[in-house]
Amino acid sequence: MKQKITISVRELAEYTHRSGDLNLEAFTSSSRAVTGIRVHQKIQKSRPEEYQKEVFVSWQIETENFQVEIKGRIDGVFVYPDKIIIEEIKTTDRNLDSLQKKENPVHWAQAKIYAYIYASKDCLETIDIRLTYFHLESKEIKEITKTFSIKELEGFFQTLFQKYLVWMKRLFDYRNLRDETIRKLDFPFEKYRPGQRKMAMEVYRNIRDSGQLIVQASTGIGKTAAVLFPAIKTFPEKHSTKIFYLTPKTTGKEAAEKSFQKMKEKGLNFTFLTLTAKDKICPNPENACNGEECSFARGFYDRIDAALNDIFQENSLTREIVEKYSQTHKVCPFEFSLAISLWSDCIICDYNYAFDPRIYLRRFFDEENLKKDDRFVFLIDEAHNLVDRARSMFSADLYKKNILEIRKEIKEKLPEIYKNLGKTNSWLLKMRKQSEESGGYFNEDELTEELIPILRKFLKSTEK
């Protein structure tokens, strides 16, 4: 039976054509994404009647081992009697004139894949591709248009698709071997402790049936092994595709690692990754996460494929192993870990990577990244701690002192941000006065509507 694979055009372009520096945004990517959506809508609205926006395309390919579906949405298509133009819209903070001299290979790859699919389905001999760039600060627009023959696009597509297939074949072979070792795996200890077997059976049943289970058991029963062993056993039957072992403490991570190691000694071939917080694993904590300041970010995407191919031979991906390969290939260890997580069978990490709205793993949990065959299993260690942690994840504080300190530092350099922070400070002064009039404190059941626009304006000014 052939393996079914679904991949987006964007994912395929990024996998085959990523290059250059790592450059992490200083502020929230979600805010930048909202800006991007607004820009797309504004440009699409300005287009002529021959323009079709958000055109869905898909392409099915069958190979010896796989049934692959490639799909995505073209930002826009100009349909004229004598030509077709595929348009991709991008936001940027780079100098617009530099975009023609130094092209973004991922942007062009994405547009060319769309063009190949569209031209193939409509039996076109040539097709135009237009990359439309919107500068976030100046609001200027630059359009770069090129014409391609179907022969050129087919050659381009086949080359990148074969590169992708090589990786998928390697992953497919590994997963077949993994499932074979899981089927043969026995419980890693001589016998079950009292209550351990019953617990393991309930865990397996709940995963199989997509249920929920809360377990309260005494210390020493062997809870870690009693949940990991049955969870692993669900993989060959496709009841699970990935485990997230969520634990708030280092001791919890170590217990999970030891349990995996015990099963590996019994013949298990299974990849786990311990995800370490960025501030703990960063080799250059004093530097910004960009190619100008950090050598581990400089040329990150030029070296990441070699690093991933090298570490693929390992399946106990502890912090020490990740740091070792990170140093060898000079890649950011945290972003390296995130790339590894895509094929890892189990991710051992803190609660916040699943539940915190600011830093959860978007590559797995954002709706646009979810696949219909995903079967994620969440094993939550010491779940009684989750209540207090959830309160902190979904709470935020504003301190007047911090705002005043920042304003003092940026007054001359960043006048617009300085001004917007002043509005936040004024709101806090107003709240302080209201608090004093209420006897020292007061409580609001809902977030004041006055504050939200002030903070949004501040965030917008930080993105320029």
pLDDT digits (tens, 9 = 90+) for 260-275: 999 999 999 999 999 9
Mean pLDDT of 322-339: 97
Chain centroid to Cα 262, Å, comes to 31
> Would you say 349 and 278 are in contact if contact means Cβ atoms under 8 Å apart?
no
**Residue type at position 179:** D
What domain range is 194 assigned to? 180-393
Residue 175, in any domain of the structure:
no
The pLDDT of residue 122 is: 93
Provide the 3-class DSSP secondary structure of residue 327.
helix
On the 0-12 / 13-18 / 19+ scale of CB atoms within 10 A, 101 is: exposed
DSSP conformational letter for 338: H
Residue 172, in any domain of the structure:
no
* Boundary residue ending a domain (164, 194, 217): 164
Provide CB contacts within 8 A for 64, sequence distance 6+. Answer: none
Given a cut of 70, whether residue 42 has pLDDT beyond it is yes
Are residue 305 and residue 443 in the same domain, yes or no? no
CA separation, residue 327 to residues 3, 119, 278, 295 (Å): 35, 44, 15, 11
Are residue 385 and residue 409 in the same domain, yes or no? no
Are residue 326 and residue 438 in the same domain, yes or no? no
pLDDT digits (tens, 9 = 90+) for 190-227: 899 988 999 999 999 999 999 999 999 887 889 999 99
In terms of DSSP H, where are the helices of 51-125?
98-101, 105-121
Residue 342, in any domain of the structure:
yes
pLDDT tier, 373 (very low <50, low <70, confident <90, very high otherwise): confident
Distance CA 37, CA 33 (A): 6
The pLDDT of residue 369 is: 79
Provide the 3-class DSSP secondary structure of residue 85.
strand
CATH number of the domain that residue 11 is part of: 3.90.320.10
5: left (phi over 0), alpha (psi -120 to 50) or beta: beta
Are residue 301 and residue 228 in the same domain, yes or no? yes
Residue 226, in any domain of the structure:
yes
Are residue 153 and residue 202 in the same domain, yes or no? no
> Would you say 44 and 53 are in contact if contact means Cβ atoms under 8 Å apart?
yes
pLDDT tier, 316 (very low <50, low <70, confident <90, very high otherwise): very high
Q: What is the mean pLDDT of the chain?
A: 92
* Boundary residue ending a domain (133, 164, 195): 164
Report the domain count for the chain.
3
Mean pLDDT of 300-326: 97
Residue 298, in any domain of the structure:
yes
Residue 173, in any domain of the structure:
no
Are residue 260 and residue 148 in the same domain, yes or no? no
pLDDT digits (tens, 9 = 90+) for 435-450: 888 887 777 777 777 8
Sign of CA dihedral 20, 9, 357, 414: positive
Are residue 369 and residue 414 in the same domain, yes or no? no
**Going by DSSP bridges, is the β-strand pair 141-149/84-92 parallel, antiparallel, or unpaired?**
unpaired
Are residue 45 and residue 185 in the same domain, yes or no? no
The pLDDT of residue 103 is: 84
CATH number of the domain that residue 257 is part of: 3.40.50.300
Residue 15, in any domain of the structure:
yes
Token look-up 């403490």 returns: 249
Residue 240, in any domain of the structure:
yes
Are residue 23 and residue 140 in the same domain, yes or no? yes
Distance CA 22, CA 339 (A): 13
Are residue 207 and residue 231 in the same domain, yes or no? yes
Are residue 303 and residue 256 in the same domain, yes or no? yes
pTM: 0.86
Strands (DSSP E) contained in 63-181 are: 66-79, 84-92, 126-135, 141-149
Token look-up 């694979």 returns: 5
> Would you say 260 and 362 are in contact if contact means Cβ atoms under 8 Å apart?
no
Are residue 87 and residue 234 in the same domain, yes or no? no
pLDDT digits (tens, 9 = 90+) for 43-57: 999 999 999 999 999
* Boundary residue ending a domain (393, 419, 450): 393
